[in-house]
Amino acid sequence: MTEKQAVAGLHPGVPYDRDPQIEATGQVATGTAAIVAALQHDRLSRHAKRIVIDCFPGVDQQAIRQLAEATWPNADLVSADDFAIAPAELTAQLAQQLTDDRVFGRLSHQVFADFFPATTRQEVKTCLDASARQIVVIGCAASLFVDQPDLLLYADITRWQLQLRLRAGQPNWHATNGDEDMLRKYKRGYFFEWRLGDRQRNADMPHLNWYLDTTARDAPRLASAVTLNACLDSAAHRPFRLVPYFDQSVWGGQWMKQQFALDPSVPNYGWAFDGVPEENSLKFALTGGFLRVPAIALVHQRPMQLLGALVQARFGNEFPIRFDYLDTMGGGNLSLQVHPRIDYIQDKFGMTYTQSESYYILEAGEGASVYLGVKNGCEKEPLFAALHAAQETEQPFDDAKFINRVPAHRGDHFSIPAGTIHSGGANTVILEISQTPYIFTFKLWDWGRIGLDGRPRPVHLAHGEANANMAFDADFARRELIDPIEPVESGDGHIEEHTGLQALEFIETRRHHVAAKPITIDAHHGVNMLNLVLGTAIRIESLTNEFPAQTYHFGETFIVPATIGAYRVINLTPTEPVLLMQAFVREQR
């Protein structure tokens, strides 16, 4: 298939916004000079004797030191990280929870204090208390060394920027692993240090004076705690988009590159993350510039407003829905894979819920298909014997013998409950709607490919065999997983369809046909995530004028916080068909 054929079905001229912003009230100081001036102008900052700059793991602490030296030239600077246990000891302590696997570990429930000896902390605090000099303590969990700082700053960074820095050779927090395999570095972040960082940010938030966005090395940005909270309040009370990012893959395609006007020099784009609050960030437009904040901070700080009481009671301060794109248009098959059962993910990895998902086919090219379940009569032992043989020798896996493959067309929706062996085929663009723990994919077969890092892609047959549900076969797929679209109601130009997901999954999805007249969508007592899967543009309006109207375009994912309730949708090109995909947590009865 040629690249021209691969991108058939594009929506030319559709202005997908790769840099969405949320308007908020407040000011931001951009650049080191402006930040120094703002802090030196602040009376509390000028007179503070004990200053703490807490840092999320991965923040450039040398840059923070330079900023502190310029702001408080007469102060003594103390590095909190100097008092943590030795890097080798930390790595040794983490060995059991990080495991020997390149991809999977066990979720940490620790805090930074666990890695700073209590006697050392007390000695440092006593020494600092006795000093008459101005002192600035910098580092991860710097607040451990000052009980009641006169001034508290939090230096933050987005997860995507952290990943880019790790790829470029930056080590993990308090480690010497700059040259280590990126999958292992990411694993250490995901299972360990980012959890500690989130907990420390949450502990600091009620006492914060200033927030420092260090995502751009050459342009840090400073906002007061008042401004930061105004930003979070703004996002929690209006529809908003996350800042998307796009990444290459061994199976990646060409559709997103052209549809979203991405860098043409990149060979392909397989992933688009535009609806993953744990990975994505928020960008707030303020007086003097903008401020980036990890979206997970909104989830943690405004859970009731964002998620709603029913969803928060069920999942805690976690965002349980995820949207992303998988582009194989002109590329290759995804890996053949399976996701863990709920009891397995709880026991082995410490997660509270698992990843069930669905594939909504946004675009389909020649020969498009999905692999969904096993063939009728397929037994686990011969299936996994063949998978092991393919993994251990150069003998290819005969997928046609074991795996159910079905054609895929634009607008199809396939449910994939945990335990279903599945894969997306080549020449498709998939809007993946899933439960959030996206890292837990057990690859069974990867078509003999090598990863972008030049190494074989990890395959997890033991995990896969323990979780593959052989009852999810072709008959089951035809009955319950393939395009389960049912009408809910219709009238006055609005058709609402139930499009899944299967009964074992907690996400409910609805597809709305929007014609010339405005429609009202029920939020179902919780947060909604939506994507315009067909059409040019829509406008979202408040039924009570509580937020300014928001416009969204084809392909854009957006979130409607639970506090909004029902909302109005208007088709801005009423002569064209519009399809809007809505996802929410299924109500329990």
Average pLDDT, stretch 422-430?
97
Average pLDDT, stretch 257-282?
95
| C-alpha of 183 from chain center | 16
The type of residue at 37 is A
- The pLDDT of residue 3 is above 90: no
Q: At 361, phi and psi to the nearest 5?
A: -85, 105
**Tokens found for residue 158:** 């987005």
The fold of the 245-276+321-481 domain, in CATH, is Jelly Rolls (2.60.120)
- The pLDDT of residue 489 is above 50: yes
- For β-strands 245-247 and 271-275, DSSP reports them as antiparallel
Provide CATH code, domain 486-585.
2.60.120.10
Domain ranges in the chain with CATH number 2.60.120.10:
245-276+321-481, 486-585
Q: At what angle do helices 32-41 and 61-71 cross, to 10 degrees?
A: 50
Residue 390: pLDDT band by 50, 70, 90 thresholds? very high
- The pLDDT of residue 4 is above 70: no
- The pLDDT of residue 435 is above 70: yes
Q: Are 302 and 238 in contact (CB under 8 A)?
A: no
- The pLDDT of residue 47 is above 80: yes
Q: What is the pLDDT at residue 400?
A: 96
Q: What is the pLDDT at residue 12?
A: 61
Q: What is the pLDDT at residue 490?
A: 76
The fold of the 32-219 domain, in CATH, is Rossmann fold (3.40.50)
Q: Under the phi-then-psi rule, with left for phi > 0, alpha for psi from -120 to 50, and beta for the rest, what region is 113?
A: alpha
pLDDT tens digits, one per residue of 220-237:
999 999 999 999 999 999
**Average model confidence (pLDDT) across the chain:** 94
Q: What is the pLDDT at residue 381?
A: 97
Please give the Cα distance from 578 to 464 (Å, whole number): 39
Average pLDDT, stretch 71-77?
97
Looking up tokens 């408080």 gives: 72
Task: State the pTM of this model.
Answer: 0.95
- For β-strands 422-424 and 428-435, DSSP reports them as unpaired
Average pLDDT, stretch 178-202?
96
**172-181, 450-459, 546-555: segment of lowest average pLDDT:** 450-459
Beta-strand runs (E) in 249-320 = 271-275, 281-287, 289-294
Contacts 24+ apart (CB under 8 A), 258-267: 258/7, 258/10, 259/7, 259/10, 259/11, 259/14, 259/16, 259/555, 260/16, 260/18, 260/555, 261/16, 261/18, 262/18
- The pLDDT of residue 10 is above 90: no
Please give the Cα distance from 549 to 568 (Å, whole number): 10
Q: What is the pLDDT at residue 8?
A: 56
Residue 456: pLDDT band by 50, 70, 90 thresholds? confident
**158-167, 176-185, 253-262, 431-440: segment of lowest average pLDDT:** 431-440
DSSP letter (8 states) at residue 170? P
Give the percent of the chain with pLDDT over 70: 97
- The pLDDT of residue 194 is above 50: yes
Give the SS3 label for residue 557.
strand
Average pLDDT, stretch 476-482?
94
Average pLDDT, stretch 474-482?
95
Q: What is the pLDDT at residue 79?
A: 97
pLDDT tens digits, one per residue of 320-374:
999 999 999 999 999 999 999 999 999 998 888 888 899 999 999 999 999 999 9
Q: What is the pLDDT at residue 454?
A: 85
